[in-house]
Amino acid sequence: MSEKYNAALGAFEQIKNIDGPLDIGIGTGSTTDIFTKEFLPKIRTNIHSLYSSSIRTTDLLKSLNFTVHKGKPNKILDLYIDGADEVDKDLNLIKGGGGAHTNEKIIAASANYFICIVDSSKLVETLGSFPLPIEVLAKDKENVIQRCQEYTQKITARENLSDSGNILLDLHEMQIFDPLQIEKEINDINGVVEVGIFAVNKPEIVIVGKDDGYNSIESSIA
């Protein structure tokens, strides 16, 4: 089996015996898609509600005959399950390669327990090799680009928009030594909707798929 499949399997084994019914948030991405297709149906009878982070995930869940709630959860969720584009040694993340990081962060903040599932290529010493996504209001695009040039001179805009119709920028060739501080600084820029650093809302556990199984890395912060 692939590393992504084994990471998804690890998430299933983490939650399969939890007493329910459960309120669960589902993220966006290729590894999360595997979990959703292969393992979420196995706990169907133990699910109370599902919250989706993106149009893509909503469509997938509906194709599997799940009822889906969209938007900000009006309750505390039991679990949030999602992937990541990079994970550092302290379990800080870069997310948003699929452009859904704003809604992903909203749902992650609403969950008691965030399980992040990744293949081993996503583990890094320092965040920033993967382009850092920022969702930006169109009218403030140039201002945000100018302000972000203090972090990197290589900034690109995607052709596609976010699910909310906003601009998506990518900051390339960064080295993010203090993810918590950089998350705050960029989010404080006028016109930024959300940056794809998950330091405030980092996971409680990261499950890393391997060729022959998976490893679990738990947060050292209680």
- pLDDT tens track for 18-44: 998 999 999 999 999 999 999 999 999
Burial 25-34 (b: 16+ CB within 10 A, else e): bbbbbebbbb
Model confidence over 150-161: pLDDT tens digits?
Answer: 999 999 999 999
Q: One of 104, 135, 183, 194 is an active-site residue; which one?
A: 104
Per-residue pLDDT for 222 more than 50? no
Q: Domain extents for the chain?
A: 3-121+199-213, 132-195
Q: Which two tokens stand for residue 6?
A: 């084994």
Across the chain, mean pLDDT equals: 95
Residue 107 CA to chain centroid, in angstroms?
9
Q: Is the pLDDT of residue 88 over 70?
A: yes
Q: Which CATH architecture has domain 132-195?
A: 2-Layer Sandwich (3.30)
Q: pTM of the entire structure?
A: 0.94
Residue 100 has pLDDT above 70, yes or no: yes
pLDDT for the residue 181: 98
Q: Which CATH topology does 3-121+199-213 take?
A: Rossmann fold (3.40.50)
CA distance 121 to 136: 28
Identify the pLDDT of residue 220.
67
Whether residue 104 lies in the annotated active site:
yes
